[in-house]
Homo-oligomer: A and B are copies of this chain.
Amino acid sequence: MNSAKIHPQALVDPGSTLGAGTRVWAFAHVCEGVVIGNDCNLCDHTFFEKGVRLGNRVTIKCGVYLWEGVKLEDDVFVGPCVAFTNDLRPRSKKYPAKFSSTRLSQGCSIGANATLLPVTIGRWALIAAGSVVTRDVPDFALVRGNPARLTGWVCRCGETLHFDAAAEARCECGGYFQKKSETSIREINI
Residues of A within 8 A of B (CB): 9, 11, 26-27, 29, 39, 41, 43-45, 47, 57-59, 61-63, 65, 67, 75-77, 79-81, 83-85, 89-94, 107, 109, 111-113, 115, 117, 126, 129-130, 132, 145-146, 154, 156-159
Q: Cβ of B79 and Cβ of A129 under 8 Å apart?
A: no
Is the CB–CB distance between B58 and A29 below 8 Å? no
Residues B109 and A90 in contact, CB atoms below 8 Å apart: yes
The chain B residue sitting closest to A124, CB to CB, is: B91
B91 near A109 with CB under 8 A, answer: yes
Given contacts A129-B115, A158-B89, whether A44 and B65 have CB atoms under 8 Å apart is yes
A117 CB contact (under 8 Å) in B67, B94, B129: B129
Q: Considering the complex, give the chain B residue whose CB is closest to the CB of A40.
A: B92
Number of copies of this chain that the complex holds: 3
Residue numbers in B under 8 Å from A109 (CB-CB): 89-92
Q: A65-B45, A79-B83 are in contact. Are A90 and B115 (CB under 8 A)?
A: no
